[in-house]
Amino acid sequence: MAPTRKAADARASKAAAQAAPEHVEAPFQRGLIPAASPVCFLDEHGHRVEPVTDDYDAPSDDDVLECYRRMVVGRRFDTQATALTKQGRLAVYPSSRGQEACQVGSVMCIRPDDWFFPTYRDSVALVSRGIDPVEVLTLLRGDAHCGYDPAATRTAAQCTPLATQLLHAAGVAYGERRQGRDSVALAFIGDGATSEGDFHEALNFAAVFRAPVVFVVQNNGWAISVPLEKQTAAPSLAYKGIGYGVVCEQVDGNDALAVLAVVGKAVAWARAGRGPVLVELHTYRMEAHTNADDETRYRTSEEVEAWRLKDPMERLETYLRSVGRLDDELAATYAQEAEDAAAELRRRMNEDTDPQASSMFEHVYARPTAQLADQRQMVLDEIDAERDALAGKDA
């Protein structure tokens, strides 16, 4: 017999209560209101500063070092993927360069049995989550909707329709809770996509049903050529949670320590059954929107240069060297690991694949609609006709 909603809710509350670690108090002493300025532990040069709030403990240097290692591997993956577009081996690539602390730091805060809902921009996060880099790039090569198994990896396909993944995240997180599990969902979104209705619906649903979702906005200042000031008049995107009763915070997204501290606490809060959290990470997209975009048409080189000086990796390297956790030898080891991974990626991406056109119709619906079946047949007929035409020419 199907469990009643009341019984499922009771089970979910019990699981959440059991999961609640004692040290999880209100993450934000100010209630729903985010800090007046972005939370940071490092200044722009990588030196420790007094935190703007005492709501967060600094992460351990072990975690910070691991974050740095993954960021080194992630950045090398990113430059390799961009190179593959120039070699005709990738159809399109939206670079993560400059956003490594956001992506790696956030993903480090979730467990393998948690869910992750990435956008097209978040390939470095997927690699950091341990997904095979070639499977990460399958979508962007145009071979399939998704190269990895979303159920096995508990990672949704990279989402291109803006903000739709947030509704999936809210639904999955709520479902986990109803089934008495303490898994959370981490969902990424860009600044531009916060103008989509789906963003607001997802926040509202998650707040009302206390779904354990951590919404992370990577505010990189631009939605292709649309700057943030044309996107919103809000003082910070984090404020958008307040109207829905979602606790929110804003963070320096180029400070890996701050990302680890705040997203870590947000995940613990959601896991403890206290509802969703909205975290805005202030960062910058260092490259064009994708390899198909020319960013010099809408932003100045002075702006890009100003952000280059706040590079998340250089700041982290300065910090780790200052506390004696990184030296030239260890840095060279990480660089070699990244280089080896890039060489292996290059080798594998240079192998030809043989994707079947009809496969794009698979895994769209559990039961294909009549319209989808018609479209599939149309594509197969076109391919047959093309083959016949070519055979005629050769004859």
In terms of CB distance, is 34 or 190 closer to ligand TPP?
190
223 touches ligand TPP (CB under 6 A): yes
Site track 25-64 with ligand TPP (rule: CB under 6 A), x = hit: ----------------------------------------
Select the residue interacting with ligand TPP from 220, 236, 250, 283 (CB under 6 A).
220
Site track 154-173 with ligand TPP (rule: CB under 6 A), x = hit: ------xxx-----------
C-alpha dihedral (310, 35, 32, 110), degrees to nearest 10: 40
Measured between alpha carbons, how far is 267 from 371 in angstroms, rounded to an integer? Answer: 41
DSSP letters spanning 133-186: HHHHHHHHHTS-S-SS-HHHHTBPPPB-STTHHHHHHHHHHHHHHHTT----EE
Q: Check 289, 315, 319, 376 and give the catalytic one.
A: 289
SS3 363: coil
188 touches ligand TPP (CB under 6 A): no
Sign of CA pseudo-dihedral 303, 309, 310, 312: positive
Number of residues in contact with ligand TPP, rule: CB under 6 A?
Answer: 14
Sign of CA pseudo-dihedral 176, 177, 180, 186: positive
DSSP letters spanning 328-358: HHHHHHHHHHHHHHHHHHHHHHTS-----GG
Is 48 catalytic? The answer is no
Residue facing ligand TPP at closest CB distance: 190
Select the residue interacting with ligand TPP from 34, 118, 190, 212 (CB under 6 A).
190
280 touches ligand TPP (CB under 6 A): no
- Strand-pair partners of 175: none
SS3 13: helix
In terms of CB distance, is 192 or 212 closer to ligand TPP?
192
- Among the residue ranges 10-18, 130-138, 169-177, 184-192, the one whose residues contact ligand TPP (CB under 6 A): 184-192
Is 285 catalytic? The answer is yes
Is 69 catalytic? The answer is no
Site track 286-325 with ligand TPP (rule: CB under 6 A), x = hit: ---x------------------------------------
Measured between alpha carbons, how far is 156 from 94 in angstroms, rounded to an integer? Answer: 17
In terms of CB distance, is 182 or 287 closer to ligand TPP?
287
- Cα atoms in the Cβ-side hemisphere of radius 13 Å centred on 377: 7
Which residues of the shown chain bind ligand TPP in the complex (CB under 6 A)? 121, 160-162, 190-193, 220, 222-224, 285, 289
